[in-house]
A = this chain, B = another copy of it.
Amino acid sequence: MKISQLQSPALILDQGKVLRSTQAMTKRLAAKDVKLRPHMKTAKSIDVARMALEGNFGGVTVSTLKEADYFLGHGFADIVYAVCIEPAKLDHAANLAARGADLKVITDNVDVARAIATHGGKFRVLIEIDCGEHRTGTPPDHPGVLEIAVLLAGSATAELAGVMTHAGHSYGCRGEDEIKRIARDEREAVVSAATRLRDAGHECPIVSVGSTPTATFGESFEGVTETRPGVFVFYDLFQAGLGVCSVDEIALSVLTSVISQQPATNQILIDAGGLALSKDRSTAALETDLGFGLVCDADSGQPISTLPGPLVVSGVHQEHGQITLPEGTDMKQFPVGTRFRILPNHSCMTAAAYDSYNVIDGDDVIAEWSRCNGW
């Protein structure tokens, strides 16, 4: 089948681009002597996981326990569930461990550590460290780090597996130098927490960092055992705006069709709206705001370059996308039925609207890969 034979809107994944990105990250981190535990929150796909794990040790990161079930069901047992667990999810996590998962749960909270220690499930625990983002995580020098370790040391069933952090504030960087600085902070925070734990007599086998920008530009991973980047498997316009990838490396796009022309606003309307693209506006924070996505040729996937400036999706309603044409553009060149592909601001958000990927090689659709959505 050809792309042109698909119904729109549809999610398109360029297999060759995924392969190049995952190979490049694998090679880069191998050269830095640090393991890659890809975060599957972006792809939520066993097929993408297999590509990202090629040449790596086999461990994955997940963002939901449903993903953990899914990957365990496909034979991947070494899993980090990288969102702080809360007490009501411990039964589910214990069940995963009982079914053979080497599941690492995370927390930054002494009360949760107590619940984990006394639950009875076979838990391995990573303490989440705050390396400066101030989202979740405890500061590396906080008394809580050792309190959690002591609680786990006293448990018959749970154990400390190490420390982890996420430099989400690398998304606020402008340029490679800033990302390198954040990567230093990320490494130092988690390594210093590991040192404190070891000095106090606790084993700390896993020292884990992770974000695509810091995995891409980090200079030293000394003392770090693994990294957990996620969006690198597809990239997106926001990552391109950060300088982490080029627009040409973005593997994910949404196939759409022109459904109307509106002379009153000089707009063409497409059948990809807020549901098909997501309402993510992350590029609004960058130098070049790309609206709700960059408009590309449907077959080649290359941005429309025949007009002054980039052509973007300027507005969305639930099922309608609005593309405002530059003044003076003859909209006859984009009649109803014209096909485009839209590159997303944020791949994780856009892909989540679809149950599956239409996998392409050139303009051939070669496979359909399913996703593990929801909770």
Contacts and interface: CB of A to CB of B under 8 A. Distances in A.
Interface of A: 7-10, 41, 63-64, 83-89, 92, 107-109, 111-112, 128, 130, 134-137, 139, 168, 257-262, 264-265, 269, 271, 274-276, 278-281, 317-320, 322, 335-337, 348-349, 352-355, 373-375
Nearest to A278: B279
Contact of A318 (B10, B88, B258, B348): B348
Given A107-B260, A278-B278, 4 more contacts: A7-B375, A87-B337, A109-B336, A130-B264
Contacts of A9: 375
Nearest to A282: B279
A352 B349 contact: no
A259 B106 CA distance: 10
B135 A317 contact: yes
Contacts of A354: 374
Given A63-B319, A278-B279, A280-B279, A86 B258 contact: yes
Contacts of A276: 375
A262 B275 CA distance: 32
A317 B168 CA distance: 9
Contact of A275 (B89, B107, B349): B349
Contact of A269 (B85, B136, B257, B318): B136
Contacts of A322: 135
Given A109-B261, A130-B264, A279-B280, A86 B336 contact: yes
B336 A257 contact: no
A128 B320 CA distance: 14
Contacts of A349: 274-275, 279, 318
A201 B179 CA distance: 68
A102 to B, nearest CB: 21
A31 to B, nearest CB: 29
The 9 lowest CB-CB distance pairs between A and B, nearest first, are A84-B259, A136-B260, A134-B264, A279-B279, A84-B260, A87-B337, A86-B257, A86-B259, A63-B319
A279 B373 CA distance: 17
Nearest to A256: B86
B336 A353 contact: no
A264 B144 CA distance: 14
A347 to B, nearest CB: 11
15 contacts: A8-B86, A10-B375, A84-B259, A84-B260, A86-B258, A86-B337, A88-B337, A108-B260, A135-B262, A135-B269, A136-B320, A168-B317, A275-B352, A352-B353, A353-B373
Contact of A374 (B109, B134, B353): B353
Nearest to A230: B318
A25 to B, nearest CB: 19
